[in-house]
Chain A
């Protein structure tokens, strides 16, 4: 992971990407016990070029393949980790990047989404494994539930939260 993050940081310092943060299962591992995962999800802000132009992941792929990255489907493997770059596509993801927590892996600086944003994004995604992760966050009490609810309200996700509560928490 050290090599992976060093290259991502290098990409950031050269302006290929803007702010970034680790989300998904690896992000959740920052707060919870480790759970097996195949890849690492990196949410990124892509620098805008001309107004109205489509944002593209091509500069990321070009940068990384020139430095040994291997494209495999929707991932690019850097070091030993397949990475999926996910451009922040809405206000929730942009907010998650703005509020991401700085940390380090083996001395390399990186950012991880807050537990509350990981919960909100997992709740919105809503696959069984996302639901399981939300439950894990709630059981281990590493999230501020008021903060989660505030995020969910702000981003129109309260109906999803209510459905989740009905399904898992109120039986």
Chain B
């Protein structure tokens, strides 16, 4: 699947499914930050 098709597929998920992905991305970012690999957690908004 090319990048554009992948993005389209991701965009077509339900809001609940997307929120679950956001939560996983956030957990991963926080785990990386806690491991010291990155100095600060990402900031949103």
Q: Which residues of A contact B (CB under 8 A)?
A: 1, 24-26, 29-34, 36-41, 80, 84, 103-106, 112, 140, 142
Q: A84-B45, A140-B11 are in contact. List 11 more A-B contacts (CB 8 A).
A: A33-B7, A36-B22, A36-B42, A38-B29, A38-B41, A38-B42, A38-B44, A41-B44, A103-B15, A104-B15, A106-B19
Q: Which residues of B contact A (CB under 8 A)?
A: 7-8, 10-11, 13, 15-16, 18-19, 21-23, 25-26, 29, 41-45
A38 B11 Cβ-Cβ under 8 A: no
Min Cβ gap B30→A in Å is: 9
- Complex partner residue of B44 from A1, A39, A112, CB under 8 angstroms: A39
Min Cβ gap B22→A in Å is: 5
A25 B19 Cβ-Cβ under 8 A: no
B25 A34 Cβ-Cβ under 8 A: yes
- Complex partner residue of A1 from B23, B41, B43, CB under 8 angstroms: B23
Complex CA–CA separation, A139 to B45 (angstroms): 20
Min Cβ gap B41→A in Å is: 6
**Knowing A1-B19, A39-B45 touch, does A34 contact B29 (C-beta < 8 A)?**
no
- Complex partner residue of A36 from B7, B25, B45, CB under 8 angstroms: B25
Q: Contacts of A106 on B, CB cut-off 8 Å?
A: 16, 19
Q: Contacts of B13 on A, CB cut-off 8 Å?
A: 34
